[in-house]
């Protein structure tokens, strides 16, 4: 099998991601190309709350003392999260956390709207919609090709079974599952096997015969019972 045919067969199992103009898409996931963490675009309001987070005062008891149980501490995202968000919103990415946060806050201030109106460039939105549609179209085509391959394989197996049945008939072989004489012989053999097995269990020293499992149909080379 050639390398191209192996790659084509492998692509039938899943639809690969699509990368274009600095972004990658698979299914409905859309992230920055080369981002190993695959950060999606964060909602503008949620992103602003992360950038402007200030820890709340500690929870107090009825006596006014600090309670032992406090809410879980806020965990700030790493630097690569803010770098990815800058690219998602059309800003020049910075790899250091604090400069990236400062640049995002400046973009929020320029957009106005109290931190809820950070616009996404139209080109990025159009690219996202185009990549998602292209991926789903490719996935549907892959699924149709896979179903056609399965149908062809099933048809070939059925044809092989028909040819095999004809070959057996030509050589005089037959299926004895519905033969009443064969069923009678099988019951008689099963009865004899059970009899010899019980005798062997109670007087194994006087019957040098081999133990047989009840219900197992003996083969032709094992002799007649």
The residues, ordered by sequence, that sit 6+ positions from 216 with a Cβ below 8 Å of its Cβ are 193
Q: Give tens-digit pLDDT for 158-197.
A: 888 777 666 655 555 445 455 555 556 666 666 665 554 5
29 and 87, same domain (yes or no): yes
User: Do 127 and 202 belong together in one domain?
Assistant: no
In a domain, 59, yes or no: no
Calculate helix-pair angle for 44-51, 97-111, nearest 10 degrees.
Answer: 130
SS3 92: coil
Residue 39 within any structural domain of the chain: yes
Q: What confidence tens digit (pLDDT) does each residue in 28-39 have?
A: 999 998 888 999
Per the prediction, the chain carries an average pLDDT of: 78
Is 94 inside a domain boundary?
Answer: yes
| Helix count and strand count (H, E) for the chain | 6, 3
* DSSP-assigned letter for residue 55: P
Residues 184 and 109 grouped into a single domain: no
- State both tokens at 170: 């030509």
Q: Which one of 85, 119, 136 terminates a domain?
A: 136
The pTM for the full model equals 0.62
Both 84 and 186 in one domain: the answer is no
Smallest CA-to-CA distance from 11 within 194, 165, 149 is with 149
**Distance, CA of 107 to CA of 48 (rounded, Å):** 10
Q: Is residue 212 part of a domain?
A: yes
Q: Do 192 and 90 belong to one domain?
A: no
Q: What is the pLDDT of residues 84-118, one digit of tens each?
A: 999 999 999 999 999 999 999 999 998 886 767 89
Domain ranges, residue 189 = 177-222
**Is 2 domain-assigned?**
no
Residue 63 lies in a domain: no
**Overall number of domains in the chain:** 2
Place of tokens 């179209």: 137
């Amino acid at each position: 099998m050639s390398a191209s045919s192996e790659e084509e067969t492998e692509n039938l199992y899943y639809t690969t991601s699509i990368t274009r103009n600095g972004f990658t898409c698979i299914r409905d996931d859309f992230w920055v190309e080369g981002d190993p963490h695959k950060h999606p675009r964060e909602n503008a309001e949620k992103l602003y709350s992360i950038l402007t987070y200030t820890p709340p005062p500690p929870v107090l008891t009825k006596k006014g003392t600090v309670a032992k149980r406090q809410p879980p501490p806020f965990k700030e995202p790493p630097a690569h999260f803010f770098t990815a968000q800058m690219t998602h919103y059309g800003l020049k990415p910075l790899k250091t956390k604090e400069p990236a946060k400062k640049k995002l806050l400046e973009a929020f201030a320029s957009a106005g709207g109290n931190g809820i109106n950070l616009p996404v460039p139209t080109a990025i939105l159009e690219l996202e919609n185009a990549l998602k549609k292209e991926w789903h179209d490719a996935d549907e085509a892959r699924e149709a090709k896979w179903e056609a391959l399965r149908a062809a394989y099933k048809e070939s197996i059925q044809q092989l079974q028909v040819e095999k049945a004809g070959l057996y008939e030509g050589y005089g072989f037959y299926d004895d599952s519905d033969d009443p004489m064969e069923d009678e012989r099988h019951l008689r053999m099963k009865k004899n096997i059970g009899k010899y097995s019980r005798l062997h269990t109670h007087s194994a020293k006087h019957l040098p015969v081999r133990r047989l499992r009840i219900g197992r149909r003996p083969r032709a080379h094992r002799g007649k019972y």
